[in-house]
Each structure stands twice: as structure tokens, then as C-alpha cells.
Amino acid sequence: MNAKVKLTILNFLEFAVWGAYLTSMGNYLASVGMAGQIGWFYSVQGFVSLFMPALMGIVADRWIEAQRLLSLSHLLAGVFMLAACVYGTQAGGAVRFAPLFALYTLSVAFYMPTIALSNSVAYSALDQAGLDTVKAFPPIRVFGTVGFIISMWIVDLGGMQSTPMQFGWSGLLGIVLAAYAFTMPRCPISKGARKSLADALGLKAFSLFRNYRMALFFIFSMFLGVCLQITNGFANPFITSFGSIAEFQDTFGVRHANILISLSQVSETLCILLIPFFLKRFGIKRVMLLA
């Protein structure tokens, strides 16, 4: 199997793990009386992302090869997600916030670093295959979004949108990916000069805020992230809530909210392919404004 095919499968599974619950978890939480805690589950993803990718990066740079660390991280994330599924299934409608949130937090703490790790593995594999990463990686990455969409559809058509089985599906995919990651080409540990702790944690990047344009871009990006997480967390339960109104009970949107929401990811896939043309023709400012 050539490098491009192996990396396409890797990216497909990487984001299928996430797509299993990211847009439907809010529906499940609302169904067990935790609508008021939805924000906690989505905000903790951002919180662990502040430090876990950097810590895993230090480990990958110094002690464990990236493909092995990717495998280990997915294994742990998958086990904790399966545990969340088991707990939710056994508790039924009496799910308590603390146990479910703890298991979920542990899972995403190990999952979030895998996005950067999978990129590192991909770049290393492409370099070893003598391919141009700038040209070869974007088409491979598109299949990550395809995996996300297909996982959303499986959860929807499988009747898992309002059940903890979506966690089980995510955990199962994670364990499959943990096994698959071991087949990836080796990523040699860097033999170069050791970075300082500040460099390894990315703290020196904050100095970029001294540049007005960079600061403006970062702040704008943060607001984009806010909009995205609000949609991820609340779009599904909002659309599904129309089922309480008689004339909307049997509509496609109410019965298949996840598929309806997946139009966002479908458009993302298409727009990614259009970005080079639009950037060249209209520039970054107009493209961002249009988006």
C-alpha cells in the first residue's frame, strides 16, 4: 500500500472518531436532562487543547516516536470513550454529570493531541516517500472531512443521536485507529538541539500579539471557533426540539438532524477545493468576509 493511500485511511479514521459524537452529543445530553451542562462538554475540548498537544509534542520529540504515541493516544481515548458509553447505557435516564464528564474529559484529553500527531506522521511519511507535502497533503486531508461526514450519517441512520451509543461508536473507531497507526512508517525522534520549555509549550507564540495584524487575525479566529462550537453543541438539540410541534414531528430535519447538519461539512469539502481559486482572485480579506 503506497503512502498516499495509507495516509488517506489514517485521516479518514482520525476525523470519523470525532464525527461520531461532536455534532450529536448535545442531543444526547439534552435527552438525559443535562441541557444546561452542554457547554461544559464542548468547552473542555478547548481547555485540554491548550496544553495536551504541546505536552504530547514534547514526548514525541524526546522519547516516543510519533506514530507509536498516536496509537497509544487513540487507544486510551477509545477506552475512556467506551467507558462513557457503558456508563451512559447502564445509568439510562439517571446519568450523573460528574462520572460522564470525567470519562469524556479523559477521552478528549488524549484525542485532541492526535490531530497534530497525525499531521506529523503524514508529513514524515510523505517526506520519506519523496513527495511534496504542500501539494500532496491537502487532498489527503479532505478525506478526513469525508470520514467525519460518514460517521455523522452512521450515527444518524443508526438511531444513536440521542443515545450513549455514539460514544461507543467513537471508541470503537478509536481502537481500530490505534491498531492501524502501528502500521504507519516510523517517525524518527529528533536528534537536534533540545528546545526550551517555553518553546516546547508554544508560549513564545504569544509574542506575535505585538503585531497588530497578527493579533487581529488571532482574535478573529477565536470568534470563528466560538461560532463553530455553539453550532456543534446546540444545533442538533435545537433542530430536534421541533419534534414537539405536531406539524414538524415527521419532517426530515427532525428525524435526521445530523444529516441536515452535515451539509456544513459537505460544503466545507467543496469550499476547500475552491479556496486556491478564490484567494488568488479576491484575496484573504474578501474570502473571509464572504465566508
Q: Is residue 192 part of a domain?
A: no
Q: Which residue shows C-alpha cell 458509553? A: 85
User: In total, how many domains does the chain have?
Assistant: 1
Q: Is residue 25 part of a domain?
A: yes
Could you tell me which of 160, 93, 121 has the C-alpha nearest to residue 3? 121
Could you tell me which of 128, 3, 10, 29 has the C-alpha nearest to residue 71? 10
Q: Is residue 195 part of a domain?
A: no
* φ, ψ (nearest 5 deg) of residue 191: -100, 5
pLDDT tens digits along 71-125? 999 999 999 999 999 999 999 989 999 999 999 999 999 999 999 999 999 999 9
pLDDT tens digits along 248-258? 999 999 999 99
Where in the sequence is the domain holding 226, given as residue range(s)? 3-187+200-290
Q: Is residue 43 part of a domain?
A: yes
What CATH number has the domain bearing residue 176?
1.20.1250.20
Q: Is residue 193 part of a domain?
A: no
pLDDT at 201: 67
Q: Is residue 194 part of a domain?
A: no
Is residue 1's pLDDT more than 80? no
Averaged confidence pLDDT in the chain: 92
Q: Is residue 36 part of a domain?
A: yes
Could you tell me which of 57, 33, 21 has the C-alpha nearest to residue 201? 57
pLDDT at 29: 97
The interaxial angle of helices 97-128 and 133-157, nearest 10 deg, is 150
Once rounded to an integer, what is the mean pLDDT over residues 187-209? 71
